[in-house]
Amino acid sequence: MTNEGDPPKPPRPVVICGPSGVGKGTLIELLQKQFPDGKFGFSVSHTTRKPREGEVDGVHYHFSTVEDMRKEIEDGKFIEYAEVHGNYYGTSITSVESVQGKNQICLLDIDIQGAQKVKKSSLDAHYLFVAPPSMEELETRLRGRGTEKEDAIQRRLSNARGELEYGLGQGNFDAVLVNNDLDRTLQEMVGKFRGWFPELLLGK
């Protein structure tokens, strides 16, 4: 129990996982638009991969070099990190703290490897998994991007099978949503968040 005058405890972060191409990023953007009064903050991940067209450093990712990121990992500056598709991705402590410092719900869009490491850390979070309706639909979405070569698509599909096996495993996530229809999935996500954070989101 906090004493009167103590600063309020920041809301628990939410880890959002799902295979590449499942629509996590789109759902997060729509969730933030549904609550435009600053209830959510997006934890911006670090990565060593090259920016895609339209991506902005510090907004979509903190783009880094392999050398710089390895040094920061060694210095203990990351809650989680992983090597995915030949590139490093990670969530820094300062990235989460900057969101919590504003008393916002910190959203972490990370992969399964990262989620497993967060579970072993001191971060007390909720965990949500977004699944595709089928592997065939996921492949269609990945190809529809038009941003990657065949070998990269096959690698992502191979990884997706393992991610789905873990994501759909009993007890690994607090909630699992199947993104068959974006609007319906968004409303299901909003319902989960209102259940987790009634003091912040009810009545909105």
CATH code, 145: 3.40.50.300
Residue 36 domain flag: yes
CA 116, chain centre distance (Å): 13
As for how many domains the chain has, the answer is 1
Catalytic status, residue 52: yes
Of these residues, 49, 143, 156, 194, which one is catalytic? 156
Residue 51 domain flag: yes
- 7-43: pLDDT as tens digits: 678 899 999 999 988 999 899 999 988 887 888 988 8
Burial class (CB in 10 A: 0-12, 13-18, 19+), 194: middle
pLDDT above 70 as % of the chain: 95
Find the domain containing 133 and state its range.
14-196
Residue 4 domain flag: no
Catalytic status, residue 156: yes
Residue 7 domain flag: no
Calculate the average pLDDT of the chain. Answer: 89
Residue 63 has pLDDT above 80, yes or no: yes
Q: Using CA atoms, how far apart are residues 59 and 79, in angstroms rounded to an integer? A: 19
Of these residues, 143, 145, 161, 184, which one is catalytic? 145
For CA atoms 158, 51, 49, 110, give the dihedral sign: negative
CA 140, chain centre distance (Å): 22
Residue 201 domain flag: no
Token pair, residue 169, equals 């495993």
Token pair, residue 33, equals 């638009």
Average pLDDT over residues 120-144: 91
Residue type at 137? E
Residue 55 has pLDDT above 90, yes or no: yes
Note the pLDDT of residue 103: 87
Residue 200 has pLDDT above 80, yes or no: no
Residue 8 domain flag: no
Which band of pLDDT confidence, cut at 50, 70 and 90, is reported for residue 6? low
Residue 9 domain flag: no
Residue 6 domain flag: no
The answer to whether 159 and 139 have CB atoms below 8 angstroms apart is no
Catalytic status, residue 145: yes
Residue type at 124? D
Of these residues, 52, 143, 161, 184, which one is catalytic? 52
User: Between 194 and 2, whose confidence is greater?
Assistant: 194
Residue 184 has pLDDT above 60, yes or no: yes
Burial class (CB in 10 A: 0-12, 13-18, 19+), 139: middle
